[in-house]
C-alpha cells in the first residue's frame, strides 16, 4: 500500500444527494475475494461517502440476508455481484433474484474478472443491469452506476 492511498479523503462534492441520503438502504456486495471486497468498499466510499455496505461471500449468504430482511428499508438499493464464487455462483444468483418478486426490483451490477463474452451476455440476459470487469476503473464505474454505459470494456478509451 502507498501512503497516499491510505489517506482518508472526502469524496468529491456531489451536485445532489447521495444514494444513502435518498434511500437509507445499504449496498450489497457479493464477492468471495476479501481483497476485492476491500477495494470495492474503498471505491464506493470515495464515490458516495459513508454508507452501509453489507458483504457476502456467495449468493447463498445474500439470500439468507434477503429472507431475514424483507422490510423495504432493509433491502439493498444495489447489488454488486461477482460471477465466479465457490458456493452459489453469479448466474444462479441472478436467476434466483429475477424469479422472486420481492427482489426483482433491486438493480444488479456484475463485477467480475471474467472476460468470457458468453458469461457476460448470460449475466445481462438474466437481469444484470451492467457488467464491469475487474480491476475497476473509477470513471467507468461511475458511468455504469449512472446508466450511461451498459458494459464498459477493458479496452474502451478512458
Q: What is the pTM of this model?
A: 0.75
pLDDT value at position 153? 38
Closest by CA to 57, choosing from 37, 79, 78, 27, is 37
Mind listing the pLDDT tens digit for each residue in 12-42? 444 566 666 667 788 899 998 898 889 888 8
Mean pLDDT of 43-53: 79
CA 86 to chain centre: 18
Q: What is the mean pLDDT of the chain?
A: 76
Task: Answer for the pair 63, 24: CB distance below 8 angstroms, yes or no.
Answer: no
Question: How many degrees, rounded to 5, is the angle at CA 82 between CA 81 and CA 87?
Answer: 105
Amino acid at each position: 500500500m502507498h501512503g497516499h492511498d491510505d489517506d482518508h479523503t472526502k469524496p468529491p462534492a456531489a451536485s445532489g444527494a447521495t444514494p444513502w441520503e435518498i434511500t437509507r438502504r445499504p449496498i450489497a456486495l457479493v464477492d468471495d475475494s476479501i481483497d476485492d471486497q476491500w477495494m470495492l468498499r474503498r471505491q464506493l466510499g470515495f464515490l458516495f461517502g459513508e454508507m452501509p455496505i453489507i458483504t457476502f461471500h456467495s449468493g447463498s449468504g445474500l439470500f439468507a440476508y434477503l429472507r431475514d430482511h424483507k422490510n423495504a428499508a432493509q433491502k439493498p438499493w444495489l447489488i454488486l455481484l461477482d460471477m465466479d464464487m465457490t458456493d452459489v455462483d453469479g448466474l444462479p444468483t441472478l436467476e434466483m433474484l429475477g424469479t422472486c418478486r420481492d427482489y426483482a426490483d433491486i438493480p444488479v451490477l456484475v463485477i467480475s474478472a471474467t472476460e468470457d463474452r458468453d458469461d457476460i451476455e448470460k449475466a445481462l440476459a438474466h437481469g444484470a443491469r451492467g457488467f464491469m470487469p475487474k480491476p475497476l476503473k473509477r470513471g467507468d464505474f461511475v458511468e455504469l452506476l449512472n446508466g450511461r454505459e451498459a458494459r464498459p470494456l477493458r479496452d474502451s478509451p478512458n
